[in-house]
Structure 1
């Protein structure tokens, strides 16, 4: 594939727009889910809201990575977005605890597929010298979706029913799919899908070349799982009516820094940026732990967003650097497995530690600060980045 000086193209722009809608879709409902589950009588299962979602996403990653390398990036992306639509339509119908938890598990297959295919697609169409910047731009649109989704969902829930939020979430996914139909496939030698592709060999599950950045991402994403699970209740505890406000603040704060972090990692390396990100994350989680007012929490959210905005695109670029072209989907799937594991374990751990007791908020957030601190310590021992993929 010919190397271009710039990564901007019609396909890249369309993919960014589709990503915005996709992330808006499944994030739209997140702030309202703890209260909704409580209304169904499942207040003791709040930790499973995110954990089940990330479990299925993690389980599906090896399959989505293999399929992205075999049948193409676009079919993998379209399957994930279709799951968002179907599950969104089913939430109002399965309005009991067991049905809700089943749908949370099924919903995770959406992020198990679409981001894997999308990241591989971006890596296919951008020159390696621009990977950090391109991943920063691409993730910026996903972050805007993550900001817009909870804000819109919170607004809809204030004036309408939770069922309305579910339906709007579902139809947002439809628009994401329609945009994907206009993209050109980038996989040069596509294969017909077959049952054999769903039979995974041991070496097809994890790409060993990207274990180091994946482990760092796991430790950082533990805090993300904590935030997704505990912040809605913590917001209520501090008297914040819109439980999606913190999500909007931290996501918006991550937008501008993504491009800066991506460019900086292209110029100075991935590891220095990751060290700064993990140190910032430690500070953010400690400040959240000691927040006692709305403004203190939202101020901490700005710092949290800066950390996320630094480590997200930088890790993706680092993984692509270390991966072979023919196993790019598998490498990105490995990264996302670590991401989902971090979020899922963070969600489960925080739900267990919190136990619906406001006295435990500080313990939960300080625990997540410890995980981020471990990531920083490990990064001090990583000396080389070993770029091996020098073509787009």
Structure 2
């Protein structure tokens, strides 16, 4: 598509944003309810795997989604990711064992392994380079709206009716996302027809070496997100906040407020200053949560964390695209998302291990992840040496 104008708010972009919001709401609405759901099955000791297995599959599928994005097109990859959400959401009510639940969570990870890769590549095709950060911020804004809507709606539906109705609603949201995508125009030139040989991945197709720096930052900063997803539902209950989705509502609301501004600032002043500030802010939010003794400080930590993620997400995605080869943009974005999923998955695993269902360990868990997050600021400030590059179109 034509990138020669400065216009980004066209019909394709708006429809893509709406699809993103529905997709995000679909898989996020169940997150606050799943720990209790798994506990009722007898799987209390496996709560760390709820996020860990999901992100593991997402990470494992990234090389495939990256290659397919660069070969068969952006739209088919996005549609497949949303369809996985439809199918998995409909299967949740049918399972009754811990093993089956964990297996389903593993395969559910295909959804985020595919949809975001295709989405980011599609956006980079239709927006001008000079407004790339702003565009990524807007796409992220709608994802964040879905992230805010999902837990709030899911929590209400689970309480008002039951959790099976919530799963069905999740499937409906994902299906609406697919309906929007079916009408989207493909942006990849010289796309190929799908053939099974495309699923054969060679070693040099797994990772894009040009984007090492954003990969490292993405990996470090998303450790904390894995911890948030894993222990905040229990931490909320410990502090007397009965709506386990309330933290995520405040977190996403503050993220919404900062994303567009953050994208524009990174376009004007560069990705690195924004990423340094975001990592520092993220560490502060972990400290606030570590010191939290009531619902007020829990939600204050949520707001600060939302600001940090709102600064981080559009800048890190735009930076990855800036450094990438246009012919391998899907691979570059897949590399970044592999780091993201690895960070979330390991963060979920280690936070569950540190917490170990012992309430007195909540502060320690947050302090550890504050220290890990600070490593990103240290890397950008003292280790990383930026090179002069020609930003890819």
RMSD over aligned CA atoms reads 0.9
Are 2:386 and 1:384 aligned?
yes
2:343 aligned with 1:320: no
Q: In the aligned structure 1, how far is the partner of 2:187 from the partner of 2:39? A: 45
3-state secondary structure, aligned to 1:131: helix
SS of equivalent residue, structure 2 residue 185 = coil
Cα-to-partner distance string for 1:285-332 (whole Å, 9 max, x where unaligned): 001011000011001110000000000010000000000110000000
Task: Please give the alpha-carbon distance, in whole angstroms, between the structure 2 residues aligned to 1:178 and 1:30.
Answer: 24
What is the deviation of 1:157? 1.3
2:50 and 2:201 mapped to 1: Cα distance? 28
Of stretches 92-101 and 75-84 in structure 1, the one that deviates more from structure 2 is: 92-101
CA shift, 1:383, in A, is 4.2
Q: Which residue of 1 aligns with 2:173?
A: 172
Following TM superposition, by how much is the alpha carbon of 1:384 offset from its aligned partner in structure 2, in angstroms? 2.1
Distance 1:61 1:358, change over 3 A: same
TM-score, normalised on structure 1?
Answer: 0.99
C-alpha displacement at 1:272, in angstroms? 0.2
Does 1:252 find its partner at 2:253? yes
Q: Deviations over 1:214-251 (max 9, x none)?
A: 11011100000000000000000001110000011001
Provide Cα deviations, 1:122-157, integer angstroms capped at 9, x if missing partner.
Answer: 000001100001100110000000010001011111
After superposition, give the CA deviation of every residue in 1:180-231 in whole Å (9 maximum; x if it has no partner). Answer: 0111000011101112111111110000111111110111000000000000
Report the secondary structure of 1:153's partner residue: helix
Hey, what's the Cα distance between the residues in 1 that align with 2:302 and 2:367? 15
1:12 Cα shift? 0.2
What is the distance in 1 between the residues matched to 2:49 and 2:204? 30
2:67 pairs with 1:66: yes
CA drift of 1:6 comes to 1.5
Deviation at 1:386, TM superposition (A): 3.8
- Residue of structure 2 equivalent to 1:300: 301
Are the aligned partners of 1:322 and 1:386 in contact in 2 as well (CA < 8 Å)? no
Q: CA deviation at 1:2?
A: 4.2
Q: 1:329 aligned to 2:330?
A: yes
Q: Deviations over 1:244-264 (max 9, x none)?
A: 000110011001211111111
Q: Find the counterpart in structure 2 of residue 200 from structure 1.
A: 201
- Residue 390 of structure 1 and its aligned partner are, at CA, apart by 3.7
Contact conserved, 2:325 with 2:392, CA < 8 A, in 1? Answer: no
Instruction: Give TM-score scaled by structure 2 length.
Output: 0.98
Report which stretch shifted further, 380-389 or 93-102: 380-389
How many angstroms apart in 2 are the aligned matches of 1:268 and 1:131? 13
- CA distance in structure 2 between the partners assigned to 1:42 and 1:317 by the alignment: 39
Give the equivalent residue in structure 2 for 1:35.
Answer: 36
After the TM superposition, which residues 1-392 of structure 1 pair with which residues of structure 2 at under 5 Å, given as runs? 1-381=2-382, 382-384=384-386, 386-391=388-393
- Distance in 2 between the 1:187 and 1:211 partners? 25
Moved more, 380-389 or 234-243: 380-389
Q: Offset at 1:387?
A: 3.7
Q: How far does residue 389 in structure 1 lie from its aligned partner after superposition?
A: 3.3
Report the secondary structure of 2:368's partner residue.
helix
Q: Retained in 2: the 8 A contact 1:270–1:315?
A: yes
Question: Which whole-Å CA distance do the structure 1 matches of 2:96 and 2:260 have between them?
Answer: 41
Quote how far apart the aligned CAs of 1:385 are: 5.7
Any stretches of 5+ residues in structure 1 without a counterpart?
none
2: distance between equivalents of 1:91 and 1:279?
Answer: 38
> Matches of 2:3 and 2:161 in 1, distance apart?
51
Query: What is the SS of the residue equivalent to 1:92?
Result: helix
Identify unmatched segments of 5+ residues in structure 2. Answer: none
d(CA) in 1 for partners of 2:181, 2:387: 33
The size of the alignment, in residue pairs, is 391
CA apart distance, 1:388: 2.8
